[in-house]
Structure 1
Amino acid sequence: MNYCSHCGAPVSLKTPPGDNFPRHVCDRCGTIHYQNPKVVVGALATWGDKILMCKRAIEPRYGCWTLPAGFMENNETCGEAAVRETLEEAGARIALEPMFTFVDLPHISQIHIIYRARLLDLDFQPGEESLEAILMSEEEIPWSEIAFRSVSYTLKAFFEDRRRGLFDLHTTSLSIPVPENYR
Structure 2
Amino acid sequence: METSRKINFCPICGGCTKHEIPDGEEKERAICTICGKITYENPKMVVGCLIEHDNKILLCKRNIQPSYGLWTLPAGYMEIGESATEGAIRETWEEAGAKVKVISPFAQLDIPLIGQTYLIFLAKMMTPHFSPGPESSECKLFALDDIPYESLSFSSMLITLKLYLEDIKVGKPKFHYLLINKRYYNLSC
Q: TM above 0.5, one fold?
A: yes
Partner residue of 1:140? 146
User: Number of residue pairs matched?
Assistant: 180
Q: Which runs of structure 2 are paired with 1:96-135 in the superposition (5 Å)?
A: 96-135=102-141
Partner residue of 1:161? 167
Give the alignment's TM-score, normalised by structure 2.
0.92
Partner residue of 1:15? 21
Task: Tell me, in whole angstroms, the C-alpha distance in 2 between the residues paired with 1:153 and 1:176.
Answer: 13
Runs of 4+ in 1 over 2 A off after TM superposition: 176-180
Secondary structure of the residue that 2:92 maps to in structure 1? helix
Q: Assess, with a 3 A threshold, how the Cα gap between structure 1 residues 179 and 99 changes in structure 2: closer, same or farther.
A: farther
Which ranges in structure 2 are unaligned for 5 or more consecutive residues?
A: 1-6
Secondary structure of the residue that 1:28 maps to in structure 2? coil
Secondary structure of the residue that 1:16 maps to in structure 2? coil
Give the alignment's TM-score, normalised by structure 1.
0.94
Shift of 1:5: 1.5
Cα RMSD of the aligned pairs, angstroms, is 1.4
Shift of 1:85: 0.3
Partner residue of 2:61? 55
Shift of 1:176: 2.4
Picking from 5, 20, 39, the partner of 2:11 is 5
Q: Which amino acid aligns with 1:125?
A: S
Partner residue of 2:77? 71
Picking from 72, 92, 95, the partner of 2:101 is 95
% identical equivalent positions: 41
Q: Which amino acid aligns with 2:114?
A: I
Q: Which amino acid aligns with 2:76?
A: G
After superposition, the C-alpha distances for 1:31-50 in whole angstroms (9 at most, x for unaligned) are: 00100111100000111100
Partner residue of 2:3? none
